[in-house]
């Protein structure tokens, strides 16, 4: 009995050492496996269980299986107007118009917008200068040099009006479409002033008249002025 007890105490230390060695070796073996394969999350395990490949597998062009983790799809072409792409069309407006100068507009004048104007009375000018507007009361054309002119002569001045290509005082030749108020041509006079063919302008009495007749005189309706015994109302003498 004493001998067995002694043998038991001799064996126990050896068994303890063997058990400790097995535990340490097992832990090192498990740590090595984890180091080689890395941790797997629930998504990867679910993927492997669903379609047999891990979630981080390279994109192979096949459709995703149900439950598969999203794949990194291949990049597609930029949509029109895509902010990241260079898809905006460049509009070619063509060559710019040359600046209006004496060399680009030798036979005309330059308008305010930079365009070249030729033969466009009452705008006159030549040699690429700035266009000028003529007074149509005193000029009727542009001369060969681009200046305002009456007929073949210079534009009229003072109280002279241009009519029929000549300058003169207000009269039938120089104010054919109006009447003369002293030396001033009143073109296309309107009621209560009437007149035509360069005649003297007539002030109408509005009590007895309501308009101008075709011959330039004052009248009531289609007739002459009311005789003074009644007013002109609605084109009828009362």
Q: pLDDT of 20-38, one tens digit each? A: 554 455 545 445 544 454 4
Q: How confident is the model at residue 220 (pLDDT cuts 50, 70, 90)?
A: very high
pLDDT of 15 over the 90 cut: no
Asked if 202 contacts 226 with a C-beta cutoff of 8 angstroms, the reply is no
Q: Does an H or E element contain 57, and which? A: none
Lowest-confidence region among 74-88, 107-121, 203-217: 74-88
pLDDT of 145 over the 90 cut: yes
Question: For the whole model, what pTM was predicted?
Answer: 0.47
pLDDT of 159 over the 80 cut: yes
Quote the CA–CA distance of 33 and 20 in Å, as a whole number: 20
What is the pLDDT at residue 182?
Answer: 87
Quote the CA–CA distance of 218 and 107 in Å, as a whole number: 48
What is the pLDDT at residue 29?
Answer: 42
pLDDT of 236 over the 70 cut: yes
Asked if 146 contacts 127 with a C-beta cutoff of 8 angstroms, the reply is yes
């Amino acid at each position: 009995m004493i001998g067995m007890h002694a043998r038991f105490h001799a064996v126990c230390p050896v068994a303890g050492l063997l058990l400790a060695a097995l535990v340490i070796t097992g832990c090192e073996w498990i740590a090595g496996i984890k180091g080689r394969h890395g941790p797997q999350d629930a998504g990867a395990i679910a993927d492997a269980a669903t379609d047999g490949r891990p979630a981080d597998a390279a994109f192979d062009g096949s459709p995703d299986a149900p439950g598969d983790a999203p794949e990194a799809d291949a990049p597609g072409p930029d949509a029109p107007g895509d902010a990241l792409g260079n898809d905006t069309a460049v509009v070619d407006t063509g060559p710019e118009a040359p600046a209006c100068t004496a060399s680009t507009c030798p036979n005309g004048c330059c308008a305010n917008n930079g365009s070249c104007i030729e033969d466009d009375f009452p705008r006159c000018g030549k040699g690429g200068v700035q266009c000028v507007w003529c007074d149509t009361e005193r000029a009727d054309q542009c001369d060969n040099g681009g200046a305002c002119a009456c007929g073949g002569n210079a534009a009229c001045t003072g109280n002279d009006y241009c009519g029929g290509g000549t300058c003169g005082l207000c009269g039938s030749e120089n104010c054919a479409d109006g009447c003369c108020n002293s030396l001033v041509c009143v073109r296309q006079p309107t009621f209560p002033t009437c007149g035509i063919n360069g005649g003297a302008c007539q002030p109408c009495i509005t009590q007895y008249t309501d308009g101008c007749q075709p011959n330039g005189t004052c009248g009531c309706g289609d007739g002459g002025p009311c005789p003074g015994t009644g007013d002109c109302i609605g084109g009828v003498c009362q």
